[in-house]
């Protein structure tokens, strides 16, 4: 029995030792094969990923390149298109304030800051803010018209003028209302144009002192009505009547 056991023992040990390297080789081959498969899958995944950074960099590089101008071509300047009226209207409608005042607003502001003169001869502003009417200058002469006598086709009248200023010559004028025609006149020379009559001083009564008076008379014709004349003036200045 011992011989049989001894004889059979060594061959079994040698077979086990022979199988152990083969098993190790298989394990190593399987590990290498798995690593190769893993690396292949990883490489395939990396190759399928998008390279955005490199593409953008290439595009940027392409955009940075400027075309070289042709020396023979004429030099042209690019013009910026002006804003269209519709765009301006849209900006105004959007509520953005306009920085340029209108002409109407500018004019209104200038009128408030520097008001022009008001209508001449009407009114002027007082410190209290109430307008005061401009008064006409006071008359420096007064006229008294007296109807001395009247008959069917004619009449005689006397005109007396009192002056506040000294005179070295004078002309008294008035308007007839009803078409009267002046004829003979004394202490003055007469001239009539339509309804306007002018009496000019004679050589001997040209000078009149201040607050003095002058007088002359005339004969005239009338028809229908003989109302007193109006609009008396002395040397062009209006006179009060009465």
Q: Which residue has the higher pLDDT, 29 or 96?
A: 29
Q: Which residue has the higher pLDDT, 169 or 25?
A: 169
Q: Report, as an integer, the average pLDDT of 53-57.
A: 47
Q: Which residue has the tokens 């607050």?
A: 211
pLDDT band at 25 (very low <50, low <70, confident <90, very high): confident
Residues contacting residue 122 through CB under 8 Å, at least 6 positions apart: 133, 134
Is the pLDDT score of 225 beyond 60?
yes
The pLDDT assigned to 132 comes to: 55
Percent of the chain with pLDDT over 70: 55
CA 100 to chain centre: 9
Task: Check residue 72 and report its DSSP letter.
Answer: T
Of 159, 164, 231, the C-alpha closest to 201 is: 159
Q: What is d(CA 143, CA 173) in angstroms, rounded to the nearest whole number?
A: 11
Q: Residue 91, SS3? A: helix
pLDDT band at 189 (very low <50, low <70, confident <90, very high): very high
Cβ-contact 147, 135 below 8 angstroms = no
The pLDDT assigned to 105 comes to: 55
pLDDT band at 157 (very low <50, low <70, confident <90, very high): very high
Neighbouring-strand partners of residue 188: 201
Q: Which residue has the higher pLDDT, 47 or 130?
A: 47
The pLDDT assigned to 112 comes to: 58
Q: Report, as an integer, the average pLDDT of 226-233.
A: 97
Q: What is d(CA 90, CA 83) in angstroms, rounded to the nearest whole number?
A: 11
- The residue extents of the domains of the chain are 1-38, 141-241
Residues contacting residue 186 through CB under 8 Å, at least 6 positions apart: 216, 217, 218
The pLDDT assigned to 147 comes to: 97
Q: Report, as an integer, the average pLDDT of 217-241.
A: 96
Residues contacting residue 179 through CB under 8 Å, at least 6 positions apart: 195, 222, 223, 224
Fold of 141-241: Immunoglobulin-like (2.60.40)
CA torsion sign, 230 to 235 to 240 to 242? negative
Is the pLDDT score of 92 beyond 50?
no
CA torsion sign, 20 to 21 to 26 to 31? positive
Q: Burial code of 203-222, b = ≥16 C-beta within 10 A, e = fewer?
A: eeeeebeeeeebbbbbebeb
């Amino acid at each position: 029995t011992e011989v049989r056991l001894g004889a059979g023992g060594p061959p079994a040990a040698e077979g086990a030792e022979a199988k152990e390297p083969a098993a190790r080789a298989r394990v190593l081959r399987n590990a290498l094969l798995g690593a190769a498969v893993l690396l292949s899958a990883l490489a395939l995944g990396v190759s399928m990923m998008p390279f955005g950074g490199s593409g953008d960099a290439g595009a940027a590089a392409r955009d940075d390149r400027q075309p070289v101008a042709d020396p023979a071509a004429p030099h042209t300047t690019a013009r910026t298109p002006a804003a269209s009226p519709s765009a301006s209207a849209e900006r105004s409608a959007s509520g953005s304030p306009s920085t340029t005042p209108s002409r109407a607003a500018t004019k209104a502001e200038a009128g408030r800051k520097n008001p022009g003169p008001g209508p001449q001869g009407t009114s002027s502003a007082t410190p209290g803010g109430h307008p005061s009417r401009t008064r006409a200058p006071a008359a420096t002469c007064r006229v008294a018209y007296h109807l001395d006598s009247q008959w069917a086709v004619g009449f005689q009248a006397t005109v007396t003028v009192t002056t506040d200023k000294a005179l070295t010559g004078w002309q008294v004028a008035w308007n007839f209302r009803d078409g009267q025609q002046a004829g003979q006149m004394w202490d003055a020379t007469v001239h009539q144009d339509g309804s306007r009559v002018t009496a000019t001083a004679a050589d001997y009564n040209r000078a009149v002192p201040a607050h003095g008076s002058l007088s002359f008379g005339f004969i005239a014709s009338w028809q229908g009505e003989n109302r007193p004349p109006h609009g008396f003036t002395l040397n062009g200045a209006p006179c009060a009547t009465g």
